[in-house]
Structure formats: C-alpha cells, structure tokens
Amino acid sequence: MHDLRIAPREIEESAFEVLKEGDLFLTTLPDGEIPAGNMAGLGLYYRDTRFLSCLEHFLNDTRPVLLSSTTRGSHFSQIELSNGELITRGDRLVPLQSIHLRLLRVMRQALFQRLRLVNYNMFEVDLTLRVLIGSDFRDIFEIRGHDRPRRGRCLEPVTTMGSITLRYRGLDEIVRGCHVAFDVAPVEMRTDPDRALCTFKLVLPPQRKVHLTWLVKPVLEPDGGPSAARNRPGSGLQATFVSTAVGQADEYRAWASRCTQFTADNEIFNRSVARSVTDLRALYTVYPDGRIVEAGIPWYAAPFGRDALITSWQTLCLNPDIARDSLRFLSRHQGLTVDESREVEPGKILHEMRRGEMANCQEILHTPYYGSIDATPLFVIVLGEYHAWTGDLLLVKEMRDGLSAALSWCRKYGDRDGDGYIEYLGQVRGGLTNQGWKDSWDAVVRPDGTLAEPPIALVEVQAYWYLALVHGARLLRLLGEEDTARNLLSEAQALQSRFIRDFWIPRRGFLGFALDGRKNLLETVASNMGQCLVTGILDPESAVRVARRLFQPDMFSGWGIRTLSKWEKAYNPMSYHNNSVWPHDNAIIAAGLRRYGLFAELEQLFDRLYEASLYFPYYRLPELFCGFTRRLTGGPVRYPIACDPQAWAIGSTFMFLQAMLGLTCAEDGLWIDSPLLPAWLGELTLKNLRVHGGVVDLGFSRKHGRTHCHLLRKEGDFRVLIEA
C-alpha cells in the first residue's frame, strides 16, 4: 500500500459522475474515485488538459464502500460511503458500516472537496486515511488515442506544510501545475514526479463529526516558476467551501429564473427537465472572446460550431440568450482568409477550437479548425430563427456582415464545382474525412458498404442551404435590401427544384443519402433524409413518404430512429454513426414531423425517446445509444464512450416539447397550433416564455384525448394566437 505504484483498479461501473463549471470539469466513478491508470478519460480537466488523473482514498489500506451518490444541479456532488471491516491499533475490530463518510464536491475556479467522517461505534477509532493523487497532464487528444512521439517532462513537485503542486513542462514551454491544498496538513507526503501519497492520522470520537477540506486547482505558469498558491493548514478552506457552494447554488437559481419554467403533473418529467436546464448552464461557458455552449463531456468540452448552433436552435423556447451569445462568439471567429491547412475560408464558421498543449504546438489543426460543411448554413438559420423568436433586429444588424459572408461562403466555397450543391472533400491531413454531423470516417457509405468518394454533397446539407436562403432573404428584407432578398428567394426555389430532381428516388419513394464525387446518388437508407423535413424543402406528399420510411422496422428501433437501416451492409448497432440512435437527430426529425402535421408519428417518437431516458442516470439522454431492437433488450443499450451530458442531446428535450406543443414564432408574435400532450402528461405549464421582448405564460391540459391551451399571462407588445 505504501508504494506509490498501486495496482490499477478495475472499472466496471456503467456510468460516471460529472461536475462542470467554466473551464473546469471533473469525471469520476460513482464513488468519486479517479483510479490510477484509468483509460476511461476520468479526471479533472482544464483547457483540454487532464490535471488530475488519479484521486483514490484508502481507510487503513482498504477502499471505502459506496452507499450512494448524486449530483445536484450539475455543479455539486454528494457521495455517501462507509467502511469495510477494519483492524485498528491494538488489533481492535471496527465492524463494517460503522463509520460513515460523506464526500461533498463543488467547483468554481478550483475543485473543492470536503470529507466528513462520523464514527458510530461506542469507542474511539484511530484511522489512517491515505489519499493518492496523480497528474499525467495529458492532452485530451492523447487520451482519445492520438499518438505523440514526444511529450514534455514532469518537474519535481513543490511541497509546503499543507500543500503539494505536481508540475509538468509541456512542449509548448508552459508549466502546468496541479496544486492541492489541505486544511489539515498530512503527517506524511511521499512524492514521485507525477503523483503523491498523502497520509492523515485521524482520531474519531464516538458519534462525533470530523471534517477534512481541500482544494485542487489547475495552475498555468508560463514563466516556469513554482505555484503561487500558498495555502497553509487551516487557512479558511472550510469557509471557502461553504461560500463557494452557496454562491454556485445562487448562480444556478438565477439561471433557472431566466429560463422558461416547464412544470407538469409528472414528477419524473419535471426532474428530467430540471436536469436539462442545469446541464445547459454547466456547458454554457465564458471565454475571453465571448460565451458559447460547449458540445459535451468529456471529449467535447470546447467550442464546436455545429453543436452550438443546433443546441441554440433547439433551446430558443427555453432561453434565447444561448443562441445570441453563441452566434456572437462564432461570428468573431468567422473565416477571413484562405488557409487550406485548417480548411479556413472567408465567411466559414469554425468546427472546433482547442487550447491545450497539442493545439499550442500545432500537433492538431484545431486552433481553430474549420472542417464542417453544415455549420455555415446553420449559422444563417439560427440567426433567422433567433430573430423570429425575439424580434431582436439589433443583433441582425450587428451580424449583417457575417450573414452576408456566410451566404457567400455557401455559394462560392461550399459549392466547389458550381452545381448548386454544398459539398466537401475531406482530404486535409489531420482533418476530418467526413464533415457533416456524421463525421466518423466510415459514416458515408454506399448500399454495398463501400465508402463514398469525395466531393460529397449530403442530402440534409442541401436542405439546410435551402432554409438558410429563405431565412437570409427574410433578414435582408428587414434590413431594407429588397433586391438581394428577391435574388435569394429565387435561388432557394431553383435549389428546391434541383434537389427533388437529384436526391429523390422515385421507385423507392424517399431521399438518397448523398451525391458522391461522380454525382451518383447513394441510395443508402439513412436518417439524414429525416432532417430535411424541418426545412420545408419537400412537398407534403413526399414528406409523408419520407416519414413513413423512417418508421419502418429497419429504421425505427422501438427506442428511436436509427442513423442507418439495419438492412444496409454497413449496419452495426454498436457503431458511432452506422445504426445508433442519436436524440438530437430524432428531435430535428420531430420538428419536421410537426411542420407537415404528422402528429401520430411525432407522438410515437416523443414517447419512445422519453421512455428511453428513464433508463439513463438522472433521466438524461446521452449523446447516443446503440441501435438494438427494443423487443430484444430490457432497455436501450448504452454506447460506452458517449458524451454525457452532451449539449444537443440535452437540447432535444426542448425541441421535442416545442414540436409537441405547436409553438411557432413569427414577426407578429407567438402561434400555438394544434398542441399535443402525450398520454403520460395530463397538464403542463410554461412560465416566463420569452417572446419578442416580452413574456408569456401558457397552460396545457389533456382531456378526452384532446389537448387544450390557455393563455395565463402576457406582457409585451406581440400577438398570441391559439388554434386548437
């Protein structure tokens, strides 16, 4: 036990606990541990670097036993632990489950941890608590599997009476430090360059509480000097822990008050929605150049253009500030010049931005990287949808140049060969091969399972381009640019005609997946065609045929619509994109079903995704889950490395609700058309729904199979039209 190289712990748990605040996030096992040498990405991360790769606790050389764990509000965790059978000084037996340990954690610029121990024996207990702390300072891309022929080097730890700082000098010459400070000094600290074993001697009186508090703080020291933090034992960490916890709770309450409140007569649904609201707050991150909703934890806690835009679109009915801030952030990083190495072009919206050692050393392209084919038309769409909800013409004026540049990029750089379609090559070394939302290397396949050759024009990207033209025309007309607006509408109509001609498969009655480099249509049956419904590019009859195809047994798993038909050669229900179920994909399809009045399919889809959510921790839908058929499994099958929480999976709840309730915003106000509550909701109230600078409260109730809507409150100069 006293050797710092402790045998690695087996990881068998099916779910992890996550805390996030700002640039910091923590992932652990349910018992709060970060096992040494874990390959699951567990740890404390800051700016794309894992600062804490090991955190293990031992009572007299045994591991505490987990009783329960929970995360409250996405920022505060509480873990209940107990002891196994122990032998203390004098060979005295301490029975199992006679000592209670409560581990509390909260984050704000550092990880604060408080451990409370209570001895429920009739006698005093002497304990040795050992805490193993490790820092590998690995870049997130290393942990995800990128090879690095060289790394920086660990420096000698810096210790004081009540603290230790593990340090690493990266190849970018930045010294990164993991500073750990204790309110009660360890009696011994044994160190290696990358880890420390801290020993505490504790005396637990009967029925008395003993507290230990410490913090873990990432430190960046460009000058290479030792950590500036100088916590002494007893220097106020307990008080800081309490004030931090209270302050964070207040922050989250303030966030919830700025969001629409959804309250139903179904408590599980209420808890699921509340979790979604706090998860979004955790992912909504401030950077030096603005605020943006990050994509997901652990792999994508960074700005992603596509993810932020889709999440913004999904959550307009919850809080339009997410869209406003994300649009501003992305416009500040909009491409200005041509840089083929990072796939930058004028007007293009970034794909991904990183700030770790590998980015600093140019070992990856993400500084930022622009290899996304759909983020730019989505930028225009979200700006249009945001204005429709808020009436915020000032933001449209602010974004005027960015709007024009995005439309120009779609036309000039997105359409490489002048055929009127947006396509990608995906041939930059170190970049993405596939650049739609299905961006894994094997995601775009022919029916025979072979990979499509570029340039590739994805079906949903053309539909997004169509909707971007429609929104762009409306926005420019508001800015007084009538001629340009008319030209954009004419362009949209021409695109719609070409689209039907080239992507529709008459003999099969649905849309193909993509056009390959030879302009051959891939007739692969994929969910991408379902995302076209939300754009309105199809006539009603064609839309119905697409929807019905998606609900055939090969595409509809019983838990949701799969990404790929199980009859295709590339079918694999455990793959990332070739037969999995993605909640955000289903939510976008659901919005399309509402657009075409396909209420039975919409309700079925919402029901099944809601039922799937009941099988996941906190009733939170993950990034994706496996595409196995429902009748063959006891519940949806977890995808092992899915992000959870993940922004557009969280946002799916609100896109589904908007579709079910028939909420639409236009220039003259809010429309509620043919609302629909599922059978498991009898009543639903929306309070503080923000529309056109005002607010509205709505009540929905379901009686005798019909859903009714009542206007409860309206403040502001806009119309509310309710159509049953």
**Of the given ranges (12-21, 103-112, 363-372, 407-416), which has the lowest mean pLDDT?**
12-21
Confidence check: pLDDT of 370 > 60: yes
Residue 12: which pLDDT band, with cuts at 50, 70 and 90? very low
| Amino acid occupying residue 34 | I
* Spatial separation of the C-alpha atoms in residues 498 and 512, rounded to whole Å: 14
* Spatial separation of the C-alpha atoms in residues 541 and 138, rounded to whole Å: 53
- 206-242 pLDDT tens trace: 999 999 999 999 999 855 444 444 445 556 899 999 9
In the structure encoding, which two tokens stand for residue 350, read together? 């970034």
- 561-571 pLDDT tens trace: 999 999 999 99
Confidence check: pLDDT of 72 > 90: no
Largest Cα separation within the chain, whole Å, is 92
Mean pLDDT throughout 362-389? Answer: 97
In the structure encoding, which two tokens stand for residue 114, read together? 């408080």
Domains of the chain: 17-250 (2.70.98.40), 258-661 (1.50.10.10)
Do residues 86 and 62 touch, judged by C-beta distance below 8 A?
yes
Cα-based distances in Å from 564 to 117, 550, 602 = 52, 10, 19
- 479-538 pLDDT tens trace: 999 999 999 999 999 999 999 999 999 999 999 999 999 999 999 999 999 999 999 999
Do residues 689 and 274 touch, judged by C-beta distance below 8 A?
no
The predicted pLDDT at position 226 comes to: 47
* Spatial separation of the C-alpha atoms in residues 706 and 720, rounded to whole Å: 20
Task: Report the share of the chain in percent with pLDDT over 90.
Answer: 91
* The model scores a pTM over 0.85: yes
The predicted pLDDT at position 631 comes to: 87
Query: Which residue is listed with tokens 């094997």?
Result: 442
The predicted pLDDT at position 633 comes to: 82
Do residues 207 and 118 touch, judged by C-beta distance below 8 A?
yes
Other CB atoms within a 10 A radius of the CB of residue 667 amount to 11
Strand duo 76-82 + 99-107: pairing: antiparallel
The predicted pLDDT at position 229 comes to: 45
Cα-based distances in Å from 686 to 268, 335, 714 = 17, 39, 12
Confidence check: pLDDT of 11 > 90: no
- The values of phi and psi at residue 149, to 5°, are -65, -25
